[in-house]
Amino acid sequence: MENACKHLKTRGIKPSYQRIKIFEYLLRNRNHPTVDMIYRKLVPRIPTLSKTTVYNTLNLFIEKEIASIIIIEENETRYDADTSVHGHFKCRKCTKVYDLDIDLSKIDIPMLAEHSVTEHHFYFKGICKNCR
């Protein structure tokens, strides 16, 4: 809890109890959760929590660059405390989202050089190693 608190402070985020708990959830569960998943897990212990608070808190984390947004499906926004460049693979069968290490030096897309790129998103779908 102290670590999460410290991390929020260094990014200029006032560390309220709810914010700390939401950030801790993201750090501990690398499961790319939706607002709903986080809300359902935390509300038994924080009865005053609302989905709007979870949503606003995650948007604050994104603005302050301590979390990133993953949009693979329409109407299913997920969040990730890992803000480094990496990719995602979503299994159509078990719906699990896997992280993929990505070495940008091994990604050759010549047309990208024309623009000034600040965000890289790579996602893939199919059947995962455990389901096929």
Interface residues with its own copies (CB under 8 A)? 69, 71-74, 77, 87, 89, 91-92, 98, 100-103, 106-112, 114-129, 132
Find the angle CA(68)-CA(112)-CA(78) to the nearest 5 degrees. Answer: 20
Closest distance to its own copies from the beta carbon of 98 (Å):
7
Spatial distance between the Cα atoms of 75 and 78, rounded to a whole number of angstroms: 10
Asked if residue 87 lies in contact with residue 122, where contact means CB atoms within 8 angstroms, the answer is yes
Of 21 and 78, CB closest to its own copies: 78
* Amino acid letter, residue 80: D
Of 6 and 76, CB closest to its own copies: 76
Exposed / middle / buried, residue 90 (Cβ in 10 Å: 0-12, 13-18, 19+):
buried
Of 1 and 94, CB closest to its own copies: 94
Both structure tokens of 103: 């070495």
Closest distance to its own copies from the beta carbon of 86 (Å):
9
Closest distance to its own copies from the beta carbon of 120 (Å):
6
Of 15 and 55, CB closest to its own copies: 55
Asked if residue 29 lies in contact with residue 78, where contact means CB atoms within 8 angstroms, the answer is no
